Chains A and B, each alone.
Chain A
Amino acid sequence: MFRSCFPGVTFEAYRLRVVRVPSTEHHPQKGAANAGAGDQPPAPGGSTSRAFTVGLPTAARRRGRLVRNLLTALVFLGVITSSVWGEDDHFPFAPFRMYSTTTSPSGTVTMPHFEAVTVSGARLELETEDLGLRTAEVLGLMDRFRREPALLRRLAQTHGATGPARSRLAELSLVQGIHSLRDGRPDGYSEEIVSVWRER
């Protein structure tokens, strides 16, 4: 028989859950969050249970607090330091930078996708997810794709094995859709081929 994490509920005998809510004279109707040490409900069997840390010897309690204090200070310091000076590379102490960059109201918004040609000549337009990458990941890897078109060859091989079309690709291009903005409104669309790989 396993206890679940939900107190008093077991997986085998959940109906036998002990309702240990005390009688009203011991437990005035009061929110548990506001309850002080003096109005704790009695433990099963009638005796009043004490706070866990109160029951511990002072030395053990102090040791526990010291370790917790050190861990708290370390994590807090790590987060603040990384937020001020750190980079994504420092995860799990990375800056909280989702959607933190600015797009100018008269700038551009890019949106990547892939275009492919199978060995049988069929043209495919693929979402980034079709090749196992999130859009944000492709944007993060854009410079590498531009520098190293051979990466597309490896993606094409993966797609041939597991992609939605399950067909061998003869050509794979990374294309960037570019929305131009004017006064914060979309004002035109164009496409740029970032990188191309063709089977020889």
Chain B
Amino acid sequence: MAREIGRSKPATQSPGAVLQRAAAGLGRWWYPSLPHNRAVVFRGIIYAFVIVDVLLTSFAIGWHGELPGELYQPLLIGRILPLPVPTPLLLSVIKTALLVFSALALVRKMPRLTGIAVFVLYLEWMVVNFSYGKVDHDRFALLVALAVLPTVSPNAAQDEGLDEAAGWALRCVQVAVVLTYFMAAYAKLRFGGIEWLNGATLVRAILRRGTVVADPLIAYPALLIGAQHLIVAFELASPLMLAKGRLGRVLLWAAFAFHAGIYATLRLSFIPHLVCLLAFLPVERVRPPWPVTTRRRRTGRGSPDRYSSQGPVCQGSATKLSRKALAERVSTR
């Protein structure tokens, strides 16, 4: 076996050099060069979801405006700022503003400004939601996403390139997702103790909100205790979602499967969190089906890579072409 001869590496490195290398490695990890498109598509998904969330999944927050003001127990942030007691008018204003700014952010109209507005308004929407005796943790990753997405460059000319800033934004969402799981396991040990594992927490959950799938399971406490062990094991293993390769992918799909199981048994959707799980996926490869698929089907080219072998269909000032002209150009290829 050939060995390099000559100047050999020092056997030990100075602590300073080791620290420097560690810091550089950490920097590369926090700022991965990811496709800018990925952050742009993810941003679109998040703002589209905020619209859906305000109208459908969290519309019940609007009920709080009708409640007596005495039931409002402002959180620390609400007392410090101080935020007003929710009224029907206030919540209607917040809701409308959220819809307007999310729509503007979705169409990339002043994305930094509108993105910041969406973050502030959504935070207030959540403060209202959680100021009546119950705080949930399923929206932490979404709040992080809304906080970091305005930092993604709005310049569309960069869409096709790699971008460390976009990589940082996506990495933050990924870490927030992992923290949600990992710190949930810690909270179980902190508030429930080690006995949580062998307790009847899932029995309690099924009695309160079990579905037809879950109700029969209540007769098998050993099975539910096994499920509790699995839940904590998964939550403790969640940092492996950040690992490259098969291990990370397995954990990611395990997360989707975990939430599917939770929804089937307890009707807990965790949908804001699920949307943030998309930060782990190359979402830029999923093209919007309505315009692109139609044209590709017509031209018989299914994938971007096959498309690429034909070269660009149109470039530069193509947006000025009419649909008919474009169709003609495509058909001649």
Q: Which residues of A contact B (CB under 8 A)?
A: 2-11, 13-24, 27, 29, 31-33, 35-37, 40-46, 49-54, 64-65, 68-69, 72, 75-76, 79-80, 83-84, 88-92, 94-105, 107, 109, 111, 129, 132-141, 144, 148, 151, 154-155, 157-158, 161-162, 179, 181, 183-186
Contact = CB atoms under 8 A, between A and B. Distances in A.
B153 A68 contact: no
A91 B75 contact: yes
A92 B176 CA distance: 12
Nearest to A1: B319
25 contacts: A2-B109, A5-B48, A7-B41, A9-B291, A16-B314, A32-B37, A36-B33, A37-B162, A43-B161, A51-B163, A52-B36, A52-B153, A72-B168, A79-B140, A80-B183, A91-B135, A94-B137, A100-B187, A100-B190, A104-B195, A105-B203, A109-B204, A141-B133, A148-B70, A185-B203
B291 A15 contact: yes
B137 A96 contact: yes
Given A75-B172, A79-B183, A139-B134, 12 more contacts: A4-B106, A16-B319, A19-B307, A19-B312, A27-B308, A35-B162, A44-B316, A46-B315, A68-B30, A132-B64, A141-B71, A154-B68
A98 B196 contact: no
A161 B88 CA distance: 13
Interface string B312-332: 111110111101001000000
Q: Choose among A20, A46, A162 the residue with the greatest number of B CB atoms under 10 Å from its CB.
A: A20
A94 B196 CA distance: 20
Main secondary structure of the interface of B (DSSP, over half): helix
A88 B130 contact: yes
B187 A154 contact: no
B235 to A, nearest CB: 9
B41 A154 contact: no
A85 B162 CA distance: 40
Contacts of B130: 88, 91
Contacts of A32: 35, 37-38, 282, 284-285
Contact of B31 (A27, A65, A91, A140): A65
Nearest to A140: B133
A65 B186 CA distance: 30
Contacts of A97: 135, 137, 184, 187, 190-191
B76 A89 contact: yes
Nearest to A99: B201
B161 A101 contact: no
A139 B208 CA distance: 12
A2 B108 contact: yes
B207 A111 contact: yes
B43 A5 contact: yes
B192 A101 contact: yes
A138 B132 CA distance: 8
Contacts of A96: 137, 140, 179-180, 183-184, 186-187
A18 B75 contact: no
Contacts of B199: 102-105
B2 interface: no
Given A4-B44, A53-B165, A186 B207 contact: yes
A93 to B, nearest CB: 9
A103 B200 contact: yes
Given A20-B315, A51-B164, A100-B188, A6 B203 contact: no
B116 to A, nearest CB: 13
A7 B137 contact: no
B295 A15 contact: yes
A193 to B, nearest CB: 19
A133 B91 CA distance: 16
What 9 pairs between A and B have smallest CB-CB spacing?
A5-B44, A140-B133, A184-B221, A154-B68, A49-B161, A102-B192, A2-B107, A132-B63, A88-B135
Given A2-B108, A137-B133, A21 B312 contact: yes
B208 A109 contact: yes
B252 to A, nearest CB: 13
Contacts of B158: 49, 52
B203 A181 contact: yes
B208 to A, nearest CB: 6
Interface string B292-312: 100100000000110111011
A95 B314 CA distance: 52
